[in-house]
Amino acid sequence: MILDGKCPTGPIEKTWDKHRFDLKLVNPANKRKYNVIVVGTGLAGGAAAASLGELGYNVQAFCYQDSPRRAHSIAAQGGINAAKNYPNDGDSIYRLFYDTIKGGDFRAREADVWRLAQVSNNIIDQCVAQGVPFARDYAGYLDNRSFGGAQVSRTFYARGQTGQQLLLGAYSALSRQIKAGTVKMYNRREMLDLVVVDGVAKGITVRNLITGELESYAADAVCLATGGYVNVFYLSTNAMGCSVTANWKAHKKGAFFANPCYTQIHPTCIPQAGDYQSKLTLMSESLRNDGRCWVPKKKEDCGKHPNEVPEEDRDYYLERKYPSFGNLAPRDIASRAAKEQCDDGRGVGPGGRGVYLDFATSIKRVGADTIKERYGNLFEMYEKITDEDGYKRPMRMYPAPHYSMGGLWVDYNLMSNIPGLFVLGEANFSVHGANRLGASALMQGLADGYFVIPYTIGGYLATVKPTGTGTENPEFKKSADEVNEYNNKLLSINGKKTVFEFMRELGGLMWENCGMARTKESLEINLKKIPALREEFWKNVKVTGSGADLNQQLENAGRTADFLEFGELMCRDAYHRNESCGGHFRAEYQDEGEAQRDDVNYCYVGAWEYKGDKKEPELHKEPLKFDNVHLAVRSYK
């Protein structure tokens, strides 16, 4: 099937305005008759629930944490992009659009990216109005910093806690609606199924994580803002509870999964210290504004104290390879370059998997106090984890899984191929193509939540009759029964291996064979080993406790079971895409280490349809057209 993204046509700069006008409206008195479910309360979900509640819809919002304030958007450190051009350095909506299309290695839709760039400015205004304390200068104006993949300073920030402050802004707006009674908040609930009635999304089945009870909720539309899936690598920068589960359950109910092989490996994370490790910690990309990446030129220097390696024996590899972008090369490129140095035997630290990020030059230039003001909390965090002082010796960094550009397929209205199912933020695939630029995730989450879904959901709801929140339809009971049976099965296996053991094993396979570099052979290994591991899981996993209680083992077992299915799809997608683009690097397709795209054969979105257990999924294509930014080899040299 050829998929249609239903993108508006005509001059790109008019597309969103025209589309907004063309969308049907629901009149204010009728809005309160419609019910909307929002799953996930990060930037996208929190902003959406707040904005939809404010418009007058009845919203039911769900999160697995104990409070909507804790979603993992909170961990984003560096900043949020907007095309304000406050620094007068040549920025514009068009340039942000251009940079994002190019940064995504020409694998995103032009119309979606244009809209994102256009509303980016509204986001900053909105957050300021909410009381988000962005960094300012002494005259009181908003401050900007630079980020990777751009040659202008367009990133707004709040110390090293931008994600936290933006999320708290959305959470405050959401709290206001909860108080007003337009949003009913359900904490500690995990979505375990999508309820589809006659081909239309009508509700969800969730597990109450405190009592273990399965609960059904019905609505006229369901919005998933359930984040990304890079915990498929086990070790990632995501929170422990991040999973593919909500998206995967929707996929199994018919929603297409687009470009699952596009995963972002963030170049600057604290290297792994041991096997027991539960997660990896990211150090903001903003550090590359003042930090210089290097490794020793000679292998024999790798064991030395870094300060003993003389200047002339250091290889500042990013500055050498990409002189015009230098240390601010985009993430996929910076990550691969780090891997290359380590593969060449010139990595540093445990296992030789690390590169230095050195602040000595900047400290000399602007002083340690300024560096502390800019990144103090990051240096503190680094010291807590590694027991090393980043002011005195270069930090050690290694790339780690961080973000997923792929996600559920949506059209221009953010609606999946299942009518009534909308997907927002990282959970969808829409704007980052094959690689996301820094400070763009926050932008997308808030764009989708504040400024896209409030319009596009009306266009859908205006075409359907409200059906209330009753869950009498047999599909609800059927869904709850199936979830119950599934959980009971997990609990009854009583095997010999723990859930963590399986997750670690799967993560190892994914990182080794479908990580920063992939080959036909490595993917073939995974396509054999993952089904075998999945089979073993269902025979030999040990899940303690009961389903009728708070049971974190059961929660993790369910998430792991879904990753064991999803991991295979991710490898299948990577296997079928015989090209390299952005975060998808197939080692066979390269030009001296640079990704080699194949625009003749692969200039499309690959969206997979679930066909049933043990059946091959079917690939659907949505061709990508570039009318404004011309397809070109992406160069940062």
Partner 1 sequence: MSDHHKTMTLTLIVWRQKGPKDPGKFETYTAKGITEHHSFLEMLDCVNEDLIYAGKEPIVFDHDCREGICGMCSQVINGAAHGGQDRTTVCQLHMRKFKDGDTIYIEPWRARAFPIIKDLIVDRSALDTIVQAGAYVSCHTGGVADGNAILIPKPIADESMDAAECVGCGACVAGCPNGAAMLFTGAKVSQYAVLPQGKAEAAERVKNLVDAMSSCGFGNCTNHYECQVACPKGIDVKFIARMNREFLKAQFA
Which residues are part of the catalytic machinery?
A: 331
d(CA 586, CA 137): 45
Contact 588/564 with Cβ under 8 angstroms?
Answer: no
Residue 74 is a binding residue for partner 1 (CB under 8 A):
yes
We find the least distance from the C-beta atom of residue 383 to partner 1, in angstroms, to be: 10
451 binds partner 1 (CB under 8 A): yes
Question: Smallest gap, in angstroms, from Cβ of residue 81 to partner 1?
Answer: 13
Region 85-104 residues binding partner 1, contact defined as CB under 8 A: 86
Please check whether residue 459 is in contact with residue 24, taking contact to mean a CB–CB distance below 8 angstroms. Answer: yes
The interface mask with partner 1, positions 397-426, x = CB under 8 A, is ------------------------------
- In sequence order, the 6+-apart residues with CB closer than 8 A to the CB of 171 are 41, 46, 68, 69
What DSSP assignment string belongs to 312-373?
GGEE-HHHHH-TTTGGG--HHHHHHHHHHHIIIII--SGGG--EEEE-HHHHHHH-HHHHHH
Question: Interface with partner 1 includes 464 (CB under 8 A)?
Answer: no
Residue 450 makes contact with partner 1 by CB under 8 A: yes
Minimum Å gap between C-beta 514 and partner 1 is: 24
Span 598-627, contacts to partner 1 by CB under 8 A: none
**Distance separating alpha carbons of residues 332 and 636, to the nearest angstrom:** 12
381 binds partner 1 (CB under 8 A): yes
389 is an interface residue for partner 1 by CB under 8 A? no
Rule CB under 8 A: choose which of 41, 60, 65, 100 binds partner 1: 65
Piece in contact with partner 1 (CB under 8 A), picked from 212-220, 232-240, 331-339, 465-473: 232-240
Of 65 and 526, the one with the shorter C-beta distance to partner 1 is 65
Looking at the Cβ atoms of 138 and 600, the one nearer to partner 1 is: 138
Positions 119 through 138 that interact with partner 1 (CB under 8 A): 122, 124-138
Please, which residue, 45 or 606, has the CB nearer to partner 1?
45
Contact flag: residue 159 with partner 1 (CB under 8 A):
yes
Q: Which of 23, 142, 200, 493 binds partner 1 (CB under 8 A)?
A: 142
Q: 158, 135 in Cβ contact below 8 A?
A: yes
DSSP 239: -
Q: What track of x and - describes contact with partner 1 for positions 34 through 53 (by CB under 8 A)?
A: -------------x--xx--
Q: How far is the CB of 548 from partner 1 (least distance, A)?
A: 11
Should residue 355 be labelled a site residue for partner 1 when binding is judged by CB under 8 A?
A: no
Bridge partner list, 257: 408, 608
CB of 324 to partner 1, least distance (A): 30
- The correct pick among 208, 281, 540, 596 for binding partner 1 (CB under 8 A) is 281
453-478 per-residue burial string, b: 16 or more CB within 10 A, e: under 16 = bbbbbbbbbeeeebbebebebebbee
Residue 552 within binding range of partner 1, rule CB under 8 A: yes
Bridge-based pairing of strands 221-224 and 395-404 is unpaired
Tokens of 392: 């005195």
CB closer to partner 1, 138 vs 312: 138
**Which tokens sit at 247?**
């998206």
Taking the least distance from each CB to partner 1, the nearer of 161 and 456 is: 161
530 lies in the binding site for partner 1 (CB under 8 A):
no
**Binds partner 1 (CB under 8 A): choice among 33, 542, 590, 609:** 542
Q: Is residue 474 at the binding interface for partner 1, with CB under 8 A as the rule? A: no
Strand ordering across the sheet containing 214-218: 189-197, 200-208, 214-218
Can residue 23 be called a binding residue for partner 1 (CB under 8 A)? no
3-state SS assignment for residue 605: strand
Q: How far is the CB of 276 from partner 1 (least distance, A)?
A: 5
Work out whether 241 is an interface residue with partner 1 (CB under 8 A).
yes
- Structure letter (DSSP) for residue 449: I
Residue 552 or 601 with smaller CB distance to partner 1: 552
Contact 578/261 with Cβ under 8 angstroms?
Answer: no
Nearer to partner 1, 75 or 525 (CB): 75
Question: Which residues between 164 and 203 bind partner 1 (CB under 8 A)?
Answer: 164-165, 168, 171-173, 175-176, 178-179, 185, 187
**What's the closest the beta carbon of residue 78 comes to partner 1, in angstroms?**
13
Task: Report the sign of the C-alpha dihedral through residues 496, 498, 503, 509, in that order.
Answer: negative
The torsion of the CA quartet 265, 269, 272, 273, rounded to 10 degrees, works out to 180
In whole angstroms, how close is the CB of 579 to partner 1 at the nearest point?
34
Residue 208 binds to partner 1 (criterion: CB under 8 A): no
Contacts of 288 (CB under 8 A, 6+ apart): 148, 267, 268, 327, 328, 334, 357
Alpha helices in 12-109 (DSSP H): 15-22, 28-31, 43-55, 93-103
